[in-house]
Every structure is written in structure tokens, then in C-alpha cells.
């Protein structure tokens, strides 16, 4: 897309999708959706349960193939270049699947290693992110025993491990208490101010009104 530079001097990486469709059997989960999310802004996607938000995010994240339509993350096509797309984007799922007995910290370290961070860098990054999402005191707890809101925060941290330019956050506020919601809003504004593209979904318009551009 545009070759403008963001406040950090990096080339701006936005999302452009056109004419996306995806059905599951007879259910048309996503029907001809086009959207644009620009770098340096928080873009909101609002719709009721079952309206296709998660299906759309999965396609943008290179995790599900559209039946029709095109997607560009910057100049990367996630359908043709899933590896390049996954390097660019951080995806926070609507609910975090946890890995066996891995602790919160180990979950982040393994994610960092999967993104090719050296061991020491992955450890340092994990600690930094645990601090950011206020899970340091639970660093060694198995991720599967975390509460719903704590899992949400770990999911956000996991999406950030490789310092992605583009964030796809599927219902990030769901399960968070009021204080954590305020903190999340600050974080989203900060990510946008850093020049990242932030696409965030919710089924509650009011939840996004204060944070989206
Ligand atoms: N893997 C699948 N197999 C069959 N149907 C599916 C599948 N994934 C989604 N669907 C259907 O597609 C529609 C859209 O679902 P999706 O999860 O994308 O909605 P959503 O907007 O994210 O909902 P929510 O607000 O509840 O998270 C629903 O009717 C759902 O049942
Ligand atoms: Mg969903």
C-alpha cells in the first residue's frame, strides 16, 4: 500500500481487504467484506455474535483461506505468503489456547523462539511483556490455570512477542475487568502512536467508541 513512513521511520504497513467471502457449508460467515485499516490508527470492527468477525480475522491472519477476495498486509498477500504475513502481524485469538503444562512465561518464550528470537532475547522479551500486561506475579503458573481475563492478557502479550507492525486483536476486552479495560485502551492508543496498524473487534460498540479512530 502507501509507502509513507510512520513515526518510527518504518514503512507504514496497513491492511487492505476487498471482496472477502468465506462459507462453511451453507453458512455464509463472511459475505463480500472490504475493509481498510491504516498504520498509526486504531480501527474497530463491530458486529453481533456470529456476524463473521473471527472468520474475517482468521483470513487476515493467514490462518484461513478465503473463498474469494484479496488481502494485503502492507504489500504482503497472506494467502500466497503466509510466513511473511505472520512475521508482520500479531494475532490475538478470541480465546487463548494454552499449551499443556507451559507456564505463562514459557508460553511467551516458546512463541519468541517460534519467531526466531535467540534464547536470551526470547527470555528478556517474555519478562518485558509479562510486566506490560501485569502478569509478572503469575509468570510461573501454568497458563491453563489462569483466569479468563489473565488469559486474555497473556494472549495480548503473545501477539506482541515479535514486535509486529500490525495487530489483529479479536475481542481483546472480553473478560477484562474495568481497570484492565482502561489499561487496554491506553495500550492500543500507544501502539497506534508508534505507527502500528491496530484492528480490533468487539460485539459492543460502546467498548470501542473511546479508543478507535
Ligand atoms: N469452522 C466453522 N465451521 C462451521 N461454521 C463456522 C465455522 N466458523 C464459523 N462458523 C460460522 O460462521 C458464522 C460466523 O462465525 P464467527 O465466529 O466468524 O462470528 P463472530 O462475529 O466472531 O462471533 P462472536 O461475536 O460470537 O465471536 C457463524 O454462523 C458460525 O457458526
Ligand atoms: Mg468471534
Q: What is the CATH number of the domain that holds 85?
A: 3.40.50.300
In a domain, residue 160? The reply is: yes
The answer to whether the beta carbons of residues 21 and 31 sit under 8 Å apart is: yes
Among all ligands shown, which has an atom nearest to the Cα of 64? Answer: 1
Residue nearest to atom 1 of ligand 1 (CA): 24
Residues with CB under 5 A from ligand 2 (ion): 53-54, 94
d(CA 21, CA 28): 8
In a domain, residue 8? The reply is: no
Question: Which alpha helices (DSSP H) does 20-103 contain, by range?
Answer: 53-60, 82-88
Q: Which domain holds residue 186?
A: 15-209
- Best probe residue, ligand 1, of 22, 28, 50, 207 (max atoms within 8 Å of C-beta): 50
In a domain, residue 39? The reply is: yes
d(CA 117, CA 160): 13
Q: 482502561: which residue's cell?
A: 182
pLDDT-based confidence at 10, cuts 50/70/90? low
- Best probe residue, ligand 1, of 27, 56, 58 (max atoms within 8 Å of C-beta): 27
The total number of structural domains in the chain stands at 1
In a domain, residue 197? The reply is: yes
Q: 523462539: which residue's cell?
A: 113
Q: 8 CA to middle of ligand 1, Å?
A: 37
At residue 67, the 3 state secondary structure works out as: coil
Question: Which alpha helices (DSSP H) does 64-200 contain, by range?
Answer: 82-88, 104-114, 119-132, 148-160, 178-193
The DSSP 8-state label assigned to residue 101 in this structure reads T
Residue nearest to atom 18 of ligand 1 (CA): 52
Identify the pLDDT of residue 104.
96
In a domain, residue 6? The reply is: no
Pocket of ligand 1 (CB under 6 A): 24, 27, 29, 47, 49-55, 94, 203
d(CA 179, CA 172): 14
Among all ligands shown, which has an atom nearest to the Cα of 25? Answer: 1
Identify the pLDDT of residue 4.
53
pLDDT at position 204 over 90:
no
In a domain, residue 7? The reply is: no
Q: Which atom of ligand 1 is nearest to the CA of 203?
A: 25
pLDDT-based confidence at 2, cuts 50/70/90? very low
Residue nearest to atom 11 of ligand 1 (CA): 29
Q: What is the pLDDT of residues 82-141, one digit of tens each?
A: 999 999 999 999 888 888 789 999 999 999 999 999 999 999 999 999 999 999 999 999
Q: In whole angstroms, how far apart are CA 131 and each of 105, 108, 126, 148?
A: 11, 12, 9, 18
CB-based contacts of 126: which residues, under 8 Å, 6+ apart?
A: 105, 108, 109, 112, 161
In a domain, residue 28? The reply is: yes
- Best probe residue, ligand 1, of 45, 46, 48, 55 (max atoms within 8 Å of C-beta): 55
- Partners of 42 in the β-ladder: 198
pLDDT-based confidence at 5, cuts 50/70/90? low
In a domain, residue 30? The reply is: yes
d(CA 150, CA 158): 12
What's the alpha-carbon Rg for the chain, to the nearest Å?
A: 17
What is the torsional sign of CA 82, 12, 212, 125?
A: positive
Identify the pLDDT of residue 44.
96
Amino acid at each position: 500500500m502507501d509507502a509513507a513512513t510512520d513515526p518510527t521511520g518504518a514503512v507504514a504497513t496497513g491492511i487492505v481487504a476487498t471482496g472477502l467471502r468465506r462459507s462453511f457449508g451453507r453458512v455464509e460467515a463472511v459475505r463480500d467484506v472490504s475493509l481498510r485499516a491504516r498504520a498509526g490508527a486504531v480501527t474497530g470492527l463491530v458486529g453481533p455474535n456470529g456476524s463473521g468477525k473471527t472468520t474475517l480475522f482468521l483470513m487476515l491472519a493467514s490462518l484461513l483461506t478465503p473463498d474469494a477476495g484479496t488481502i494485503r498486509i502492507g504489500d504482503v498477500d497472506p494467502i500466497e505468503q503466509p510466513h511473511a504475513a505472520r512475521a508482520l502481524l500479531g494475532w490475538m485469538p478470541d480465546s487463548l489456547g494454552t499449551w499443556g503444562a507451559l507456564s505463562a512465561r514459557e508460553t511467551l518464550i516458546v512463541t519468541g523462539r517460534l519467531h526466531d528470537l535467540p534464547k536470551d532475547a526470547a527470555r528478556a522479551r517474555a519478562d518485558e511483556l509479562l510486566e506490560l500486561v501485569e502478569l509478572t506475579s503469575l509468570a510461573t503458573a501454568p497458563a491453563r490455570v489462569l483466569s479468563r481475563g489473565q488469559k486474555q492478557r497473556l494472549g495480548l502479550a503473545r501477539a506482541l512477542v515479535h514486535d509486529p507492525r500490525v495487530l489483529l486483536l479479536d475481542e481483546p476486552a472480553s473478560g477484562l475487568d474495568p481497570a484492565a479495560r482502561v489499561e487496554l485502551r491506553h495500550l492500543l492508543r500507544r501502539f497506534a502512536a508508534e505507527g502500528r496498524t491496530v484492528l480490533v473487534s468487539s460485539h459492543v460498540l460502546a467498548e470501542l467508541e473511546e479508543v478507535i479512530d
